[in-house]
């Protein structure tokens, strides 16, 4: 009579772990080490050095010296010029973020539905993303909105009897906002359009087919009940990336309002935090306060991007 052991007591051999190939570790570190060294030398060390500067009285020196604690942070948070720059940043974000979201989504819908030439239109709208912000800002200031009668914008308005407008130097109404917003829109709408097109191509066609069977009319109904909900995570990503980019605005403000020529001296009209910190650190040579302002700005960016993502479940799987 054969005796069988309980299944729980039967020991099965553990699967053999694959042995690493000879030289695999060496190849791994050979590829990873350059990036890791670059991250440490060019990112982590400067961040740590900047933090030490923010706690020091670093006037005319980039070496942490006299320790002052959090005084640089309190000075920046009570500095009216720095607070005005934060207000400028918020106003700029209120203009640029919703406009970029709406225009890039609209372009993505049009290009995705185009019957022919999709690649052509994608390329046409994406090309401005490859242009330097400095170059585009100079073209906007010198050519399109130079304030002279032969400037492009004034030339278009002349047939309507409108006198030449000093776009950059006019405070009431503040036409310089139009210059700043349009150059940023031209530069980045095509980039976010590509992200939305990728999101549109991930939406299952079966959803639209089922909606058509249920009687949903193509157009606004499918856009509202299928397309926009399916683009929820993509929209949040675009909004957050846009918000971060708006908070880091520098080139267009510096080159349009603070550059040389006729616009020189207009920097005080709208100065975002990075331009103010640039003048504080490199203009006044106060690297301690400049570093403290940079860390305050970083904390604000983290707060306005991470908190909404947590509240609205960005990246969370749809149920």
Here the tokens at position 317 are: 């799987």
Distance, CA of 233 to CA of 239 (rounded, Å): 10
pLDDT at site 310: 73
Distance, CA of 237 to CA of 243 (rounded, Å): 10
Q: 70-312 architecture in CATH? A: Orthogonal Bundle (1.10)
pLDDT at site 52: 93
pLDDT at site 318: 55
- What residues have CB less than 8 Å from 261, skipping those under 6 apart? 141, 142
Give the side-chain half-sphere CA count within 13 A for 181. Answer: 19
Cβ(242)–Cβ(192) under 8 Å?
A: yes
- What residues have CB less than 8 Å from 161, skipping those under 6 apart? none
Closest CA to 235 of 193, 201, 204, 207: 193
pLDDT at site 117: 81
pLDDT at site 81: 92
Closest CA to 110 of 227, 245, 209: 227
pLDDT at site 127: 94
CA dihedral angle for residue 257, residue 259, residue 261, residue 265, rounded to 10 degrees: 60
- pLDDT tens across the length of the chain (319 residues): 444 555 555 556 666 666 666 677 888 889 999 999 999 999 999 999 999 999 999 888 888 878 888 999 999 999 999 999 999 999 999 989 999 999 999 999 999 888 778 889 899 999 999 999 999 999 998 889 888 888 888 888 888 888 888 888 777 888 889 999 999 999 999 999 999 999 999 999 898 888 888 887 778 888 888 899 999 889 988 998 999 999 999 998 988 887 655 555 676 778 899 999 999 998 889 999 999 999 999 999 988 888 877 776 665 655 5
For residue 172, give the H/E element and its range.
Answer: none
Query: Per-domain residue ranges for the chain?
Result: 70-312
pLDDT at site 291: 94
Closest CA to 178 of 189, 167, 170: 167
pLDDT at site 313: 66
């Amino acid at each position: 009579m054969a005796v069988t052991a309980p299944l729980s007591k039967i020991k099965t051999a553990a699967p053999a772990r694959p042995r690493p190939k000879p030289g695999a570790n060496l190849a791994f570190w050979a590829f990873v080490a350059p990036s890791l060294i670059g991250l440490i030398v060019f990112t982590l060390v400067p961040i740590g050095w900047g933090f030490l500067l923010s706690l020091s009285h670093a006037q005319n020196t980039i070496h942490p010296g006299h320790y002052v604690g959090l005084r640089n942070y309190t000075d920046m948070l009570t500095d009216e010029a720095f607070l005005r720059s934060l207000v400028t940043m918020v106003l700029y974000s209120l203009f640029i973020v919703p406009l970029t979201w709406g225009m890039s989504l609209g372009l993505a819908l049009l290009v995705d539905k185009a019957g022919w030439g999709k690649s052509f239109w994608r390329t046409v709208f994406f090309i401005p993303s490859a242009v330097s912000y400095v170059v585009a800002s100079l073209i906007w200031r010198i050519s399109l909105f130079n304030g002279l009668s032969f400037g492009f914008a004034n030339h278009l308005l002349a047939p309507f009897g409108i006198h030449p407008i000093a776009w950059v130097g006019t405070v009431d109404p503040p036409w310089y906002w139009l210059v700043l917003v349009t150059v940023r829109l031209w530069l980045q709408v095509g980039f976010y359009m590509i992200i939305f097109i990728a999101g549109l191509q991930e939406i299952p066609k079966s959803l639209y087919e089922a909606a058509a069977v249920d009687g949903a009319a193509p157009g606004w109904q499918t856009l509202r009940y299928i397309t926009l909900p399916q683009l929820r995570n993509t929209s949040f990503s675009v909004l957050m990336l846009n918000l971060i980019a708006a908070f880091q605005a520098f080139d267009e403000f510096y080159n349009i309002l603070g550059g040389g020529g006729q616009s020189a001296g207009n920097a005080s009209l709208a100065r975002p935090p990075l331009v103010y910190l640039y003048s504080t650190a490199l203009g006044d040579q106060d690297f301690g306060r400049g570093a403290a302002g940079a860390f305050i700005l970083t904390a604000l960016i983290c707060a306005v991007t991470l908190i909404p993502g947590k509240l609205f479940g960005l990246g969370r799987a749809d149920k």
